[in-house]
Amino acid sequence: MFLKNKKVVVMGVANKRSIAWGCAKALKEQGADIIYTYQNERMKKQLLKLAEPTDLLVECDVASDESIAQAFQTIQEKFDKIDGLVHAIAFANKEELDGNVSDITRAGYLLAQDISSYSLLAVAHYAKPMLNPGSGIVTMTYLGSERAIPNYNMMGIAKASLETAVKYLAYEFAVDKIRVNGISAGAIKTLAVTGVKDYDQLIKLSEDRTPDKAGVTIEEVGNTCAFLVSELAAGIVGDIIYVDKGVHLT
C-alpha cells in the first residue's frame, strides 16, 4: 500500500458512477484516509451512502470563495496537514453543450470557466499551506480540450484552460515538492456527461475507438489517480496523462 496513513481530499463525488468515487476507492485501497468535499446537501445525501461513517465530509461549493475558505479551514482544524487533493469538478449549462460555439453567451462562458477551470486555482490556493512535501494534486480533463468533439463545445474550451492551469500551477508548486498533474479520461457515463447533447454518441465514439472496444472504467482512472497522488509519481510534474484505453491514438 503506497499511500498508507496519507490524507487525501477528494472533491466531486456525486454518486457511485463518479470518477471521483473511482479515485476515492483506489486511494483507499492504497491505504489513504479520504476527506470528501461535496457541492450541496443533495450531493451529501449520495455521498453518505458511499463514505465510511468515520470519514470527514465537508461542504465546498467552488462557486464561492467563502465556501472554499471555510472548507479548507475545517479540514485544517481536523487534520492540520494533507498529502493530496483530487479535483474532479466541472459544470457548464446545457445550452453550452449543444449547437454552435459561436452562440455561447458571455455568462455561460464565464460560468463554465469558473467552475471547471478557475476552481482548480482557487482550491490550490487554500490547500497550498496544508500540503506536505511529496503531495500530489490531480485534476480531470478530456480529449475535447485538443480536438473538436461534437457538442462538447464550451467544456472543451474550459478543459483547455484547465490543462494550462495544471502546467502553471505545477511550475509554482514544484518548488515546494508538490506535484500537479491531470488525467485525460476516456468518456464514461456519469451525471456530468449527461449534460452533453447526444452524450450516448460521445461514449459510443470513445468505446469504438478503443482497440478492444471497451471504454475506460472509473476504477482504471482511479488507479492512475492514486499513483499520481503518491510519491511513486515523483518525476511527473505538470503532465496530462491519458487514461482512455487508447482513444487518443486514433
| Residues at the contact surface with ligand NAD, assessed by CB under 6 A | 12-14, 18-20, 39, 43, 60-63, 88-91, 115, 140-142, 185, 187-188, 190-193
Q: Residue 15 or 132: which CB sits closer to ligand NAD?
A: 15
Q: Check 152, 168, 199, 242 and give the catalytic one.
A: 152
152 is catalytic: yes
109 is catalytic: no
DSSP string, 141-209: E-GGGTS--TTTHHHHHHHHHHHHHHHHHHHHHGGGT-EEEEEEEPP---TGGGGSTTHHHHHHHHHHT
Pairing of strands 7-11, 131-141: unpaired
CB of 5 to ligand NAD, least distance (A): 26
Residue 191 assigned ligand-binding role: yes
- The length of the chain is 250
CB of 192 to ligand NAD, least distance (A): 3
Q: How far apart are CA 99 and CA 16, in angstroms?
A: 30
CB of 249 to ligand NAD, least distance (A): 16
Annotated binding residues? 12, 18-19, 39, 61-62, 89, 92, 159, 188-192
What are the catalytic residues? Answer: 142, 152
